[in-house]
Amino acid sequence: MNGPVPVEVLKQHLIDPEICIRCNTCEETCPIDAITHDENNYVVRADTCNGCMACISPCPTGAIDNWRDVLRAEAYAVDDQLTWDELPVQDDALAGQGTIGEASAGAAGGASGASGASADSSEPVIGGSDLVRGSVVPPWSAAKPYVNLYNHKAPVQATVVGNYRVTDASTESDIHHIVLDFGKQPFPVLEGQSIGIIPPGTTADGRAHHARQYSIASPRDGERPGYNNLALTVKRVTKDHQGQAVGGVCSNYLCDLKKGDVVNVMGPFGSTFLMPNHADSHLLMICTGTGAAPMRAMTEYRRRRRMKGATGKLMLFFGARTQGELPYFGPLLNLPKDFIDTNLAFSRTPGSPKRYVQDAMRERAADVAALLRHEHTYIYVCGLKGMEDGVLQVLQTIAGEAGLDWQTLWQRMKTEGRLHLETY
Ligand code: A2P
């Protein structure tokens, strides 16, 4: 006698469009290309996702950690997900019955289609996959961050108390230092965290703009010590990646703000790219352009703590096209040499050879190696996506030349929350 046909229920991985700040972290992290996006949403291909969980920890907002139990054959297609403004409600009849693992192709592929990956529907790998290159945990001594105190439905209003350019007026690169004050509203932050800014107005098809993410450039106790304010480092976007003229919606909005203007803010976000609190920890910071924001925050916090006895070393590698395009050039050079070891790399100085941060690191190999040997060294990389490979490559070379086994050290630094990568 035939028994009843089992109904397969999938625990479908979804991204909450209401919380997602479209930072691309999940898509970059996914080892099997199960995540895609359009100008509206980031979505998960049900026929590809194998529930490896690599994307869960790096997501700054937690938007990635959403699941719905659905009939496998009726998994939400990519095309549907791309139109969502909010997640669908869970069907009570299926709740709690789903198992993780990709749905059969065809049920959920949608326009973007399947990637062809054929991962097993294996147990999730909690804590991230080997293909994730940086830490998905914070330093052991990091302070506990607050996250998601405000979302796009209930943002907090901050007042602009400062907005000025931090690149030379003669250069094309218009980078602004913008200070936002939260008054009496709670907005606790840590160095390395980010916030979301919701630009006013709507897109061409009448939807509200989604929030854009910016790293905080000031320390936890305020841009001005003891004040409930923070700073951002924002580059005015005037061209797209192909060099075509475009006006970046949020960056232009922010760079044009005047003192007294009120801004809608979400967040704070981020629970891993945080600095160690123990006073003898060393910071090796590598950045380009506006990737300087978290480095400025950490450096300034250490500078304020130094007076209270922090002893760890700070070494900075900072790349820009020219001296004039390096944000905060003047203040950076005013920091005492015995406090921070600053190394600048300029790629487009007329008459000088092109230099990237990796080249500067190579030149300082002995000192970088000394830091790599130290178990209290924490590495932070922030800026252009392209530099990530180059920086990891030069770290490998420097480690190798110093007799360190980079593969072992890399794994160790990752699991100990000592290698943080944030590139875009
Ligand atoms: P480049 O002159 O080749 O563009 P940007 O001004 O676009 O934000 O870039 C900041 C700096 O990072 C520039 O000096 C830029 O050099 C440099 N850069 C570009 N690609 C890489 C890379 N793959 N590795 C390191 N630095 C890079």
254-299 residue pLDDT tens: 999 999 999 999 999 999 999 999 999 999 999 999 999 999 999 9
Instruction: Please report the pLDDT score of residue 84 as a whole number.
Output: 94
Ligand 1 atom with least separation from CA of 386 = 23
Q: Which amino acid is at 289?
A: G
Q: How many helices (H) and strands (E) does the chain have?
A: 9, 15
Q: Does 399 score more than 50 pLDDT?
A: yes
Which ligand 1 atom sits nearest the alpha carbon of residue 289?
8
User: What per-residue confidence (pLDDT) applies to 104?
Assistant: 55
The two tokens of residue 132 are 């994730």
Q: Ligand 1 pocket, 387 CB below 6 A?
A: yes
What average pLDDT does range 226-247 have in this prediction?
90
Residue 153 is predicted with a pLDDT of 87
- Assign 79 a pLDDT band (cuts: 50, 70, 90): very high
Q: In this predicted structure, what is the pLDDT of residue 208?
A: 86
Instruction: Give yes or no for residue 120 having a pLDDT over 70.
Output: no
pLDDT of 244: 85
Look at residue 164 and tell me whether its pLDDT is greater than 60: yes
Q: What percent of the chain has pLDDT over 70?
A: 91
pLDDT score for 125: 32
SS3 145: coil
Mean pLDDT of 399-418: 97
The arithmetic mean of pLDDT across residues 95-102, rounded, is 86
Question: What is the three-class DSSP state of 165?
Answer: strand
> Which residues pair with residue 215 across a beta bridge?
194
356 within ligand 1 shell (Cβ under 6 A)? yes
Examine the pLDDT at 119 and tell me if it is beyond 60.
no
**289 ligand 1 Cβ < 6 A:** yes
The whole-number average pLDDT for the span 358-381 is: 98
**What spacing in Å lies between the alpha carbon of 347 and ligand 1's midpoint?**
7
Q: List, for residues 297-356, the tens digit of each pLDDT value.
A: 999 999 998 867 778 999 999 999 999 999 998 899 999 999 999 999 999 999 999 999
- Higher pLDDT, residue 127 or 389: 389
SS3 276: coil
CA of 423 to the centre of ligand 1 (A): 12
242 — pLDDT class (breaks 50, 70, 90): confident
What pLDDT score was predicted for residue 118? Answer: 31
Amino acid 249: pLDDT: 92
Q: How confident is the model at residue 114 (pLDDT cuts 50, 70, 90)?
A: very low
pLDDT tens-place string over residues 189-228: 999 999 999 999 998 888 888 899 999 999 999 999 999 9
Mutate to test the pocket of ligand 1, among 167, 287, 347 (most ligand atoms within 8 A of CB): 347
CA of 345 from ligand 1 middle (Å) equals: 10
| Helix (H) or strand (E) run with residue 384 in it | none
So what's the pLDDT on residue 160? 98
The Å distance, Cα 355 to ligand 1 centre, comes to 9
Of residues 357 and 111, the one with the higher pLDDT is: 357
Closest CA to 98 of 117, 121, 82, 125: 121
Pick the atom of ligand 1 nearest to 325's CA: 6
Instruction: Name the helix (H) or strand (E) containing 303.
Output: helix 292-306
Q: Residue 405 pLDDT more than 90?
A: yes
Ligand 1, atom 16, lies closest to the CA of 347
Does pLDDT of 417 surpass 60?
yes
What pLDDT band is residue 4 in, cutting at 50, 70 and 90? low
Measured in Å, residue 368 CA sits from the centre of ligand 1 at: 21
Percent of the chain surpassing pLDDT 90: 75
**To test ligand 1's pocket by mutation, which of 168, 233, 321 has the most ligand atoms within 8 angstroms of CB?**
321
The finding on whether 384 has its CB within 6 A of some atom of ligand 1 is yes
Atom 25 (ligand 1) nearest CA = 387
386 within ligand 1 shell (Cβ under 6 A):
yes
The end-to-end CA distance of the chain, in Å, is 59
H or E stretch covering 10: strand 9-14
User: Which residues make beta-bridge pairs with 263?
Assistant: 158
The answer to whether the CB of 347 is under 6 A from ligand 1 is yes
Mean pLDDT of the chain: 89
Does 319 contact ligand 1 (Cβ within 6 A)?
yes
Contacts 24+ apart (CB under 8 A), 201-206: 201/249, 203/39
> What pLDDT, on the 0 to 100 scale, is given for residue 169?
94
**How many Å lie between the centroid of ligand 1 and the Cα of residue 381?**
14
pLDDT tier at 108 (50, 70, 90 boundaries)?
A: very low
**CA 318 to centroid of ligand 1, rounded, Å:** 10
Rounded to 10 deg, the angle between the 386-401 and 406-415 helix axes is: 120
For residue 12, give the H/E element and its range.
strand 9-14
Q: For 22-32, what is the mean pLDDT?
A: 89
Point out the ligand 1 atom lying closest to the alpha carbon of residue 235: 8
The whole-number pLDDT of residue 221 equals 97
Q: Is residue 106 over pLDDT 60?
A: no
Alpha-carbon distance of 371 to 391, in angstroms, equals 15
Atom of ligand 1 nearest to the CA of 358: 25
